[in-house]
Amino acid sequence: MKTIWLNLPVKDIKESKEFFKAIGFKENPRHKNAEHLGSFYIGENNFVLMLFPENTFKGFAQNEISDTQKGTEVLINIDAQSKSEVDTMAKTVQKAGGKIFAEPGESDGWMYAFGFEDLDGHRWSMLYMDMEKMPG
Amino acid sequence: MTPKQIWANLGVENIERTQEFYLALGFKQNGTPSKDLVSFLFGEDAFVIHFFKKEKLKTSLEGEVSDLSQGNEIMFTLSAESKEEIHECIEKVKEIGGTIRFDPRKDRKSFYDDNGYYVGVFADLDGHLFNLFCNLNK
């Protein structure tokens, strides 16, 4: 199994695509013009994030979609190269319509992170790790 | 914003049984597990999934961990090279206590058939979903 990608159900493909574009994710050129799905590349390995309308996702998953306001199945993490990148991203996310659930802040003396919900309540975290301060 | 890395954190009931499950499926362990965490690498780019004890994940989420019997929020897809690879994976999942949600040897979906996709879906011991996907056109 050579490749893994992540599928997320969303209520509105168009709005979600705008959101992820606005926070700086790269559109997968192969699906750029698709109206029935969204596809983004994240990180240096171009990890693929697929967005599907909820009904389509249900068909693929053979299951109901959970209510993200009641609970979360996954915390998706992305890294940052500096603290200021975390702060900037927090502002960008808010401007794009995302919701901050954890304001940027230090953790354990060597990490700096913030957490946000995308338009459908999927929870993300951006984390800066100061390797010099990391406990050995 | 240019993140270099992306990884995923999932909640599980029991670290040891999760470790056994993913080892049995042939995935590579990432580091040494602790009492709260076991981590695995997926695919040739070594995508990391951390499996945290639910109580531990809860503190990072600053919210509740969802009850997967009520539905799923995400699904991962793993690409397969052949029908046989999907069949083998399904058999293994059954043997080690996972749940098969879609078995292409008996379940049919016209969307898959029409497009030449060969698909299996399983849930791990905690209900996290994986979609096994083979594009037969290739």
Better-predicted residue by pLDDT, B138 or A38: A38
A119 closest CA partner among A90, A96, A101? A96
Q: Average pLDDT over chain B, rounded to whole?
A: 96
End-to-end CA distance of chain B: 34
Look at B44 and A2 and tell me if their CB atoms are within 8 Å: yes
Q: Give the nearest chain B residue to A85 (CA atoms).
A: B1
What pLDDT score does B128 carry? 98
For residue A126, which residues of chain B lie inside 8 Å, CB to CB?
3
| Among the listed residues B7, B2, B32, the one whose alpha carbon sits nearest the alpha carbon of residue B19 | B32
Please tell me the distance from the alpha carbon of residue B124 to that of residue A100, in angstroms, as a whole number: 30
Measured between CA atoms, how close is A47 to chain B, in angstroms?
Answer: 8
DSSP state of A64: P
From B27, B121, B49, select the one nearest A47 (Cα to Cα). B49
Burial class (CB in 10 A: 0-12, 13-18, 19+), A60: buried
Closest among A56, A68, A70, A44 to A12, alpha carbons compared: A56
Q: pLDDT tens for residues B55-67? A: 999 998 888 999 9
**Could you tell me if A17 and A37 are in contact, meaning their C-beta atoms sit under 8 angstroms apart?**
no
Average pLDDT over residues B35-54: 97
Cβ atoms within 10 A of the Cβ of A21, count?
14
Residue with tokens 């013009």: A33
Determine the residue type at B18: T
* A120 within 8 A of A76, measured Cβ to Cβ: no
The arithmetic mean of pLDDT across residues B109-131, rounded, is 96
CB contact under 8 A, B131 and A102: no
Which of A16, A47, A73 to mutate to test binding with chain B, by most B CBs within 10 Å of its CB?
A73
Mutate which: B74, B79, B102, vs A, most A CBs within 10 A: B74
CB contact under 8 A, B72 and A81: no
What is the reported pLDDT for A132?
87
Which residue of B75, B82, B124 is the best one to mutate when testing the A interface, meaning the one whose CB has the most A CBs within 10 A? B75
Interface of B with A in 15-34 (CB under 8 A): none
Q: Which pLDDT score is estimated for B1?
A: 60
| Cα distance between residue B78 and residue B120, in whole Å | 10
- Which residues of chain B does A23 touch, with a Cβ-Cβ cutoff of 8 Å? 1
In this complex, is the C-beta atom of B100 within 8 Å of any C-beta atom belonging to chain A?
Answer: no
Q: Do A61 and B101 touch (CB under 8 A)?
A: yes
Place of tokens 């209900």: B127
Q: What is the dihedral of CA A76, A82, A87, A88, to 10 degrees?
A: -90
ipTM rounded to 2 decimals: 0.94
What is the amino acid identity at position A20?
A: F
pLDDT along chain A (136 residues), means of 10: 96 97 95 93 96 96 94 97 96 98 93 97 96 83
pLDDT bracket for residue B101 (50, 70, 90): very high
Interface of B with A in 52-91 (CB under 8 A): 57, 60-68, 70-81, 85, 89
**Among A38, A58, A57, which residue's Cα sits nearest to residue A49?**
A38
User: Cβ contact (<8 Å) for B61 and A43?
Assistant: no
* Per-residue confidence (pLDDT) for residue B90, from 0 to 100: 98
Mean pLDDT for the stretch of residues B32-45: 96
Instruction: Over range B82-90, report the average pLDDT.
Output: 98
Position A82 scores a pLDDT of 95
Q: Give SS3 for A21.
A: helix
Quick one: which of B72, B60, B121, B36 has its CA closest to A111? Answer: B60
